[in-house]
């Protein structure tokens, strides 16, 4: 299991961080110490898992003459699964990979077709969460005029949720025979997906009340008896940045406002990080496009069936399964093969 698993160097890095953690002055700078401690725990987990796989392989070698062919196959399959999980863990090493994430969907131009496509994507991610025991919470959902959705924001809660789903950000393209076209013509629809980490704190982010425009309105989603009978939903516009956030899932206007403010801080902090990254890349002579201007994946239902990711060249000839939430294999493949 060489190559990807450079265990000697990982062990050396773990030992260096362990020495730092044991120093008396380590926790004086809490933010720096917390980052180092998290890195240490990640390294420890990778090394422990690697050693467990090695022990299982050695044990299997010792017992292979005592096991039936069926038992050997079963044990080998278990080892292969653990190696695959370990490979994925190694790739989940981004600074924010371990966090929960917000997932936002907006239809592109095309009216009802694109709104329906946005809803199909939402259901894909909801079913993925349900199949893999990811908890999720709908923050807001705006229905389309005829069908589908105009916009939606959900919070996905699971260890490494952002790490797994971060590569979903971008434009998703659907090709199908339209159910809304009486002539049964083939249509192409687009929708954008945005995945951002749910940050635990927001250093240097201050919001002035005078910079906010706050609107309240009837909630349009699930939320109990008060839905559509009181102005519980809240929309906040941050005037300097033009960022707009909405929350309608809480039962009271006050709680929706508190939640919306937290989401706004999250967006402002993300914007700050992106600006800092652009400055660093400018100094290095690099340029990066951080908007949703590039198509990342196509889902073709007609005249043939294919899902293809343009960044990793991942292909799947069963789009119905993908759209039914069976995307874990694709997420892990992209995690390992999309070049940063």
Res 3: pLDDT: 47
Is the pLDDT score of 5 beyond 70? Answer: no
Q: For a pLDDT cut of 90, what percent of the chain falls above it? A: 51
Domain ranges of the chain: 7-91, 101-197+294-337, 209-283
Taking the C-alpha atoms of residue 152 and residue 120, their distance in angstroms, rounded to an integer, is 12
The CATH code for residues 101-197+294-337 is: 3.30.70.1660
CA 265 to chain centre: 19
Local confidence band at 282 (pLDDT 50, 70, 90 cut-offs): low
Same fold yes or no, 7-91 and 209-283:
no
Q: Looking at domain 209-283, does it have CATH number 3.30.160.20?
A: yes
Residue with tokens 């180092």: 36
- In the predicted model, is pLDDT for residue 7 greater than 60? yes
pLDDT digits (tens, 9 = 90+) for 188-198: 999 999 999 99
| Sequential DSSP letters for 123-159 | HHHHHHHHHTT-EEEEEEEEE-SSSSEEEEEEEEEST
The string of DSSP letters for 189-232 reads EEEEEEEEE--S--TT----GGGEEEEEE---SS-STTTTTS--
Would the pLDDT of 187 be above 70? yes
Pairing between β-strand 170-177 and β-strand 149-157 as defined by DSSP bridges: unpaired
pLDDT interval class at 37 (50, 70, 90): confident
pLDDT band (50, 70, 90) for residue 246: very high
- Which CATH number is 7-91's, of 3.40.50, 2.40.30, 1.20.58, 2.40.160? 1.20.58
């Amino acid at each position: 299991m060489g190559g990807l698993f450079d265990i000697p160097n990982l062990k050396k890095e773990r030992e260096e961080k362990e020495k730092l953690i044991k120093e008396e002055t380590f926790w004086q700078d809490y933010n720096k110490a917390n980052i180092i401690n998290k890195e240490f725990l990640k390294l420890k987990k990778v090394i422990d898992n690697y050693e467990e796989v090695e022990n299982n392989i050695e044990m299997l070698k010792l017992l292979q003459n005592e096991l039936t062919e069926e038992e050997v196959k079963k044990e080998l399959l278990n080892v292969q699964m653990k190696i695959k999980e370990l490979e994925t863990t190694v790739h989940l090493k981004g600074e924010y990979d371990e966090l929960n994430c917000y997932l936002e969907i907006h239809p592109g131009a095309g009216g009802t077709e694109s709104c329906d496509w946005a809803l199909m994507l939402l259901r894909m991610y909801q079913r993925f969460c349900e199949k893999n025991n990811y908890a999720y919470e709908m923050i807001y959902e705006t229905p389309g005029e005829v069908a589908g959705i105009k916009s939606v924001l959900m919070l996905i809660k699971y260890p490494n949720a952002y790490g797994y789903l971060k590569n979903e950000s971008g434009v998703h393209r659907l090709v199908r025979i339209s159910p809304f076209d009486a002539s049964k013509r083939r249509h192409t629809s687009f929708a954008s997906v945005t995945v951002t980490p749910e940050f635990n704190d927001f250093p240097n982010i201050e919001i002035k009340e005078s910079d906010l425009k706050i609107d309240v309105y009837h909630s349009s989603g699930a939320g109990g008896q008060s839905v559509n009978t009181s102005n519980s939903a809240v929309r906040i516009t941050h005037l300097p940045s033009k960022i707009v956030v909405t929350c309608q899932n809480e039962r009271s206007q006050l709680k929706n406002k508190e939640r919306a403010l937290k989401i706004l801080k999250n967006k402002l902090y993300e914007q700050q990080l992106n600006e800092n990254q652009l400055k660093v890349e400018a100094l290095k002579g690099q340029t990066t496009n951080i908007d949703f201007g590039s198509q990342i994946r196509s889902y073709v239902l007609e005249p043939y069936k294919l899902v293809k990711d343009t960044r990793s060249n991942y292909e799947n000839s069963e789009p119905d399964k993908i759209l039914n939430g069976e995307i874990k294999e694709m997420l892990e493949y992209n995690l390992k093969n999309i070049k940063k």
